[in-house]
Amino acid sequence: MVKTYSSLPGDERQETVRCPCCGGERSRPALACDSLRFVRCRGCGVVYQNPRPVFEDLRDRYGEEYFSYELANEAGFFSLMRMGLRDIRFQELEPPRPRRFLDVGCATGMLIESMKKEGWDVLGVDICRPSAEYGKRHRGVDIIAGTLTEAALPAGSCGVVHFSHLIEHLPDPRAFLAEVRRVLAPGGYAVITTPNVDGFQARLFGSGWRSAIADHLVLFSRRTLGRLLEGSGFTVKRTVTWGGLAKGTAPDIIKRPADRLAKRLGWGDVVMVLVEKA
């Protein structure tokens, strides 16, 4: 089982934290991955790193090396995001107003470049400055280098906020979702994609699961993500999962029925949720 790319932790300060989703102090061991320790909150069930690096040190991971990874894989990531938007039936939505598509964690900007060609007013935000600069220079799209909070966008200025494989990297998902809600216009939509800690692969591989990595601070399931979103002022409209067994982990005679079972039970390796601002 090959794990997802992760920056190598350096000489980072560590902090012991409460559950980043409900604030609970009680937890039990969940996943032990080399030097990492993931625990499961006994209150809300979310899985999170504890202890973890402080954010001021953690953001230093997203530099030139991370940019090289994003650039090398941008076409594959773009294809997956477009397929995800199709599966969540994004194109069936009533066009929001304003028709502005914000992609947080936009990497090199390939998705917002595509949405711009479809007539959207687009904006990207990414903490990796080299990625943001590349997207602005080579794609002609507006990307703000930093966090969504640092971008300081006007309230109600976006019709759609999209963030794929971002929320698991954040130290405070609740505060982030509050900012997403603030920048969304009334009736606006958010589209969220993240690894599924209750998916088939996570259940099968445990601590060897490919998304149990140093860069992921919080690991969600369909249930825990849905609960957090609803508690943050959103109405869940659609939820899908995809991905059964990873390629190369089993022969097709096993992989194909496992993939079908995972899809039917909602045990895909990735969960995607479409929500509306309540």
Each residue's pLDDT tens digit, 152-165: 999 999 999 999 99
70-91 pLDDT tens trace:
999 999 999 999 999 999 999 9
37 closest CA partner among 247, 213, 210, 204: 213
For residue 256, what are the CA distances in angstroms to 41, 152, 197, 209, 243? 33, 46, 21, 19, 11
Q: What would the mean pLDDT of 194-202 be, rounded to a whole number?
A: 95
Q: What is the pTM of this model?
A: 0.95
Measured distance CA(223)–CA(263) in Å, rounded: 16
Query: Can you give the pLDDT at residue 265?
Result: 84
Phi and psi angles of residue 46, each rounded to the nearest 5 degrees, phi first: -70, 150
pLDDT surpassing 80 at residue 8: no
Q: DSSP characters for 109-145?
A: SHHHHHHHHTT-EEEEEES-HHHHHHHHHHH---EEE
Query: Can you give the pLDDT at residue 1?
Result: 54
Cβ neighbours for 148, distance < 8 A, ≥ 6 positions apart: 104, 125, 176, 179, 180, 183
Which residue did the predictor score with more confidence, 148 or 246? 148
Q: What would the mean pLDDT of 173-197 be, rounded to a whole number?
A: 98
Cβ neighbours for 248, distance < 8 A, ≥ 6 positions apart: none
219 closest CA partner among 27, 62, 10: 27
Q: What would the mean pLDDT of 142-149 be, rounded to a whole number?
A: 98
pLDDT surpassing 80 at residue 38: yes
Q: Taking the CB of residue 18, how many other CB atoms lie within 10 A of it?
A: 15
Which residue did the predictor score with more confidence, 1 or 184? 184
Beta strands in 165-269 (DSSP E): 184-195, 218-219, 234-242
Give residue 225's pLDDT band: very low, low, confident or very high (50, 70, 90): very high
CATH superfamily of 75-277: Vaccinia Virus protein VP39 (3.40.50.150)
Measured distance CA(118)–CA(136) in Å, rounded: 18
Measured distance CA(31)–CA(21) in Å, rounded: 18
List the single range of 13-27, 28-42, 162-176 with lowest mean pLDDT: 28-42
pLDDT surpassing 70 at residue 143: yes
109-132 burial, b if ≥16 CB within 10 A, otherwise e? bbbbbbbbeeebbbbbbbbbebbb
Q: Please state the domain extents for the chain.
A: 75-277
Measured distance CA(244)–CA(273) in Å, rounded: 18
**Stated length of the chain:** 278
**Token representation of residue 202:** 């996570």
Distance from chain centroid for Cα 154? 23
Query: Can you give the pLDDT at residue 183?
Result: 98
Residue 170 · residue 217 · CB < 8 Å? yes
The rounded percent of the chain whose pLDDT value lies above 70 is: 99
